Structure 1
């Protein structure tokens, strides 16, 4: 494990990879977090592009996940409605297991137990994905349950856009 951890550190291009549902958090919480990280000199991978519905993740994005020391996952109410977010999360959890990548979940206006148990708004999202991507859903659900078990920040309340 020590040799794989040290080779991982050498490959890390970014200190932090941010995973988030743009429609939910891009212009408030995530934007503030990104600014704070960059203001403190932290190299952050932040996907500026928006994927169209049904579009596959760019291989460069999956490579950026592997090239990061830490992934911060902002789990918002519509996070699981995005196939691209779920694909990112599955890759992030794979990197956590394979390369000891640090994963920090932020439960943004969602109950951590709903993440662990696929409840609340997440239940409906997974039910919709079963129709279109049945082979992927079990992998996504496993990653979702796994991140729901991690200690993280539970953000409740309101953030202004300013």
Structure 2
């Protein structure tokens, strides 16, 4: 199958960065849904098409969605090649890689990469059927074969390894994030927000019940907020954590922190 927008609607006008190509009957409710959720968690706008009805040719909406993407993820599965729409998508994706510099990430789910690359196993059976159906258009079938070979020669993910699927999809999402040259700080923002709420409660409690121990707990929470904010700045700047391991609560380092806080006002 193909792809639609990260808000789970089929509005082609919504902005997206990633196009997700897959055969719905194979992975829609399993691997692909988990991968889509992982991409959303790291705030990657993804075009994923859950529409089951297809015409004889790939729609213009899907072609434009592929063209508008910075990166395409192709989830190859056992019966992927039985769908000519999936094959058309791969061909379009490969064309966009050649002419638009699009990044392509192949994923092999429950299928050996060599079967996809060389059209053996279930892919051989599927292409035997295509050769009969399109006997009058042999070039069409050959272009599908060429596109599969090119896509599978790219660096990708083999999901046949004995690992939890939840771990693999999270790693793929972070890999996609890196290839898009983006950094995710949403997890830190959530932590900072919670600690800020806690600090406000502790401050109000201290005002109502002044006591040194209450003030100390408030100061410890503030210290944790600053630590998380510094980690956020480091992540945005892609600074290794080892470069700032010397930062402590001294006045000089607080000045250093305040300087970066003024630079980063998000």
Please confirm whether the aligned pair reaches a TM-score higher than 0.5, indicating the same fold: yes
Residue 38 of structure 1 corresponds to 40
Root-mean-square deviation (CA, aligned residues, Å) is 1.6
Separation (CA, whole Å) in 1 of partners of 2:78 and 2:152:
13
Whichever structure has more helix as a proportion of its residues is 2
Assess if the C-alpha contact under 8 Å between 1:28 and 1:159 holds in 2. no
Residue 149 of structure 1 corresponds to 153
What is the CA deviation profile of residues 79-100 of structure 1, one whole-angstrom value per residue up to 9, with x for unaligned ones?
0000000000000000011111
Per the normalisation by structure 2, the TM-score is 0.53
Residue 17 of structure 2 corresponds to 15
Structure 1 position 155, deviation (Å): 0.5
Residue 3 of structure 1 corresponds to none
What is the CA deviation profile of residues 100-128 of structure 1, one whole-angstrom value per residue up to 9, with x for unaligned ones?
10000001111111111111100010110
Classify 1:122/1:61 alpha carbon distance in 2 versus 1 (closer, same or farther; 3 Å). same
Structure 1 position 58, deviation (Å): 1.1
Residue 31 of structure 2 corresponds to 29
List gaps (5 residues or longer) in structure 2: 1-14, 167-266
Per the normalisation by structure 1, the TM-score is 0.85
Residue 109 of structure 1 corresponds to 110
Would you say 1:84 and 2:85 are equivalent positions?
Answer: yes
Separation (CA, whole Å) in 2 of partners of 1:83 and 1:152:
22
Residue 139 of structure 1 corresponds to 143
Query: After TM superposition, what 4+ stretches of structure 1 lie above 2 angstroms from structure 2?
Result: 157-160
Higher relative contact order (CA 8 A, sep 6+): 1
Larger Rg: 2
Q: How many pairs align?
A: 147
List gaps (5 residues or longer) in structure 1: 1-12
